[in-house]
Structure 1
Amino acid sequence: MPTSPLSSAQAARKAVATRLQGLMKDAGLSGHELAVRCGWHRAKSSRIARGITPPSDADIRAWCIACGAEDQAADIIAASRNAESMYVEWKQIHKDGMRRVHEKTVPLYQRTRSFRVYASNVVPGMLQTAGYATGLLGTITAFQGTPDDVADAVKARLDRSRVVREGDHRFALLLEETVLYYRVCDDEAMGEQLGHLLTIMKRPNVSLGIIPKRASRTVWPLEAFYAFDDQQVAVETLTAEINLTTPGEIRTYLRAFTELSQSAVRGEPARDLIREALTALG
């Protein structure tokens, strides 16, 4: 079953620190000596070597030069950037608001042919209506304390979601039944969202499964994740988005998706669950 995606990001950062430590040892330098050569306080070299402080590109170049291994700088910088891109805090992603991140991910959505999405908390973005997205993004903005560009972000999200209707894309989506009841928007918008799910299920390129609350299961509820073909899995936690590209980790999440799928209902039984949620709105 999936290990913590945060632990994967931490391991990637640790691998960079280990490589830098190795260069220092090969050069016969102590942490203090390396810091002197780089013009740093010695605590900085220690924190980088222990993986506490992520090194900047300039830090890595200076480290490699100090160790007489300048030819390795480019490779380590690439590994460090990959490690840092694995774990990015939402406050950093949304520092200028949410519109840009939606626009930035349009190429990823356009080139992906097979989407596999598991949602345990909210309706997946590509299925959201304007009202639902407005309520959700508004609460996220307020909670994170990031710039409020909700109206523009909603438009960008809906524009990005055109992949559901355009091009050669297939969507296999799993929702926990509880997602149908979480009120992230007002009742009117929630009703429109549930009605949209009933409509979108009719599309031949969309397979929507719902995992009933009482379903027998071999995989416990997980954090929401989005699999883009077999190339990348984005895992959403409260504080950050974690992007996994290691084949073994991707396979593990896809295996979890397969097992979760076995607990889901589709077709008319799924529609019945959506209609029950609609009725509960009153």
Structure 2
Amino acid sequence: MTSAASAPRRIDRGRSGYKTVERKGFDAVLAAVTAAVTAGVVGTLIVWKLDRLSRKGIGQAGKVLDDIEKAGGHLVSVVDGLDTSNDSARMVVAMLAELARSESMNARTPPAADDIRAWCQACGVEGQTDDLIASLRTVEDMWIGWRRMERAGLKQAQEARLPLFERTRRFRSYSSWFVPGLIQTHGYTEAVLRAVQRRRVEVDDVADAVAVRMERQRVLYEGDRRFAFLVEESVLRNGLGGTDVQEEQLSHLLTVGSLPSVSLGVVPTRTHRSRMPVEGFWIFDTEQVNVELVSGYLTLTQPSEVAAYADTFTELADMAVYGVKARALITSAIQSLR
């Protein structure tokens, strides 16, 4: 209950928010709230997700919220996108608190989409319906570590993504690390996947995985699909695979960038950027975002989260160069290899 710069952090790692167990982090938060009420201090309680605060329903969550508001403060839930300084947020907090309790009571069986719609209608927050229905996805569905995803080998992981690519009509891809898979050459893909296999995968099926990724590239030439690729200029000079592989890949970018269905932008390296590089991500139509992080693969379907990545893509796209200017940067990178 203080400024963001000096706010204390409380963690109850591995402690249930539903069972009757000792939660030192939660108890410390309650003590801080009580002290804030007594002192009349205005502040903010920030939680990662509302069900991390409590799974005992509105009784417990509501008391915390009441005490915070008595101190003139408010509650912020990062993942849920809630800030109780907004009038409608308290209704949503009540609903999410009860849903978390119900989920725990019923062996973690999530509510149905119709239940969410009914709650939203009853609480007068129909505008939250789509986001909350998307939140029905469990954490396990949203996040998967690379070792789990690739434990049977890289080929299976590559095959698992094919249906998504086949049903998508509009692709947006941003990369600050390497050339996106759909526009990689065979040699470049082999270098990327070989590095992955050596680092974290026991099964060596790199050749098969490369073949699957190459076959997936057929979506570039089928149907009425549209593709927008953005890469940081540093991607053109990352050295993956050595000189010959790099030159072949960069030359391929010049070719694929001329396809009528493809937009290829390069974000130049320069000072005074209005937006810094971010993690690599794909946006599939307007339904789903996939984010590749160092430790795993994140799938986002909440409309607000998809929209946030779409906005980020637009900002980065506005900073990029295209056509002749993009080709000049790629050609310069090729010449630097010789």
Q: Would you call these one fold, judging by a TM-score over 0.5?
A: yes
Partner of 1:73 in structure 2? 109
> Do 2:177 and 2:280's aligned partners in 1 also have CA atoms closer than 8 Å?
yes
Partner of 1:21 in structure 2? 56
Tell me whether 1:90 sits opposite 2:126 in the alignment: no
Structure 1 residue runs of 5 or longer lacking an equivalent are: 1-10, 26-62
Query: When the two structures are aligned, how many residues end up with a matched partner?
Result: 233
* Equivalent-residue separation in structure 1 for 2:259 and 2:153 (angstroms): 32
Question: Post-superposition shift, 1:17?
Answer: 5.9
Q: Residues 73 and 193 (structure 1 numbering): CA distance in 2 closer, same or farther, change over 3 Å?
A: same
The CA RMSD over aligned residues, in Å, is: 2.8
> Do 1:169 and 1:205's aligned partners in 2 also have CA atoms closer than 8 Å?
yes
Q: Which has the higher contact order (CA 8 A, sep 6+)?
A: 1
> Do 1:173 and 1:208's aligned partners in 2 also have CA atoms closer than 8 Å?
yes
Question: Post-superposition shift, 1:187?
Answer: 1.3
Q: TM-score, normalised by structure 1?
A: 0.75
Partner of 2:40 in structure 1? none
> Do 1:23 and 1:64's aligned partners in 2 also have CA atoms closer than 8 Å?
no
Letter in 2 for 1:246: Q
Q: TM-score, normalised by structure 2?
A: 0.63
> Do 1:118 and 1:226's aligned partners in 2 also have CA atoms closer than 8 Å?
yes
Partner of 2:261 in structure 1? 205
* Equivalent-residue separation in structure 1 for 2:103 and 2:237 (angstroms): 58
Greater C-alpha radius of gyration: 2
Tell me whether 1:170 sits opposite 2:226 in the alignment: yes
Tell me whether 1:196 sits opposite 2:232 in the alignment: no
Q: Which of 172, 182, 191 pairs up with 2:238?
A: 182
Q: Which structure shows the bigger proportion of residues in helix conformation?
A: 1
Question: Post-superposition shift, 1:66?
Answer: 9.4
Question: Post-superposition shift, 1:206?
Answer: 0.1
Question: Post-superposition shift, 1:217?
Answer: 3.0
Over the matched positions of the two proteins, sequence identity in percent amounts to 38
Q: Which of 238, 242, 246 pairs up with 2:302?
A: 246
Q: Which of 251, 274, 283 pairs up with 1:227?
A: 283
Structure 2 residue runs of 5 or longer lacking an equivalent are: 1-45, 61-100, 113-132
Question: Post-superposition shift, 1:14?
Answer: 4.7
Partner of 1:138 in structure 2? 194
Q: Residues 126 and 215 (structure 1 numbering): CA distance in 2 closer, same or farther, change over 3 Å?
A: farther
* Equivalent-residue separation in structure 2 for 1:195 and 1:183 (angstroms): 14
Question: Post-superposition shift, 1:145?
Answer: 3.7
* Equivalent-residue separation in structure 2 for 1:215 and 1:110 (angstroms): 39
> Do 2:155 and 2:212's aligned partners in 1 also have CA atoms closer than 8 Å?
yes
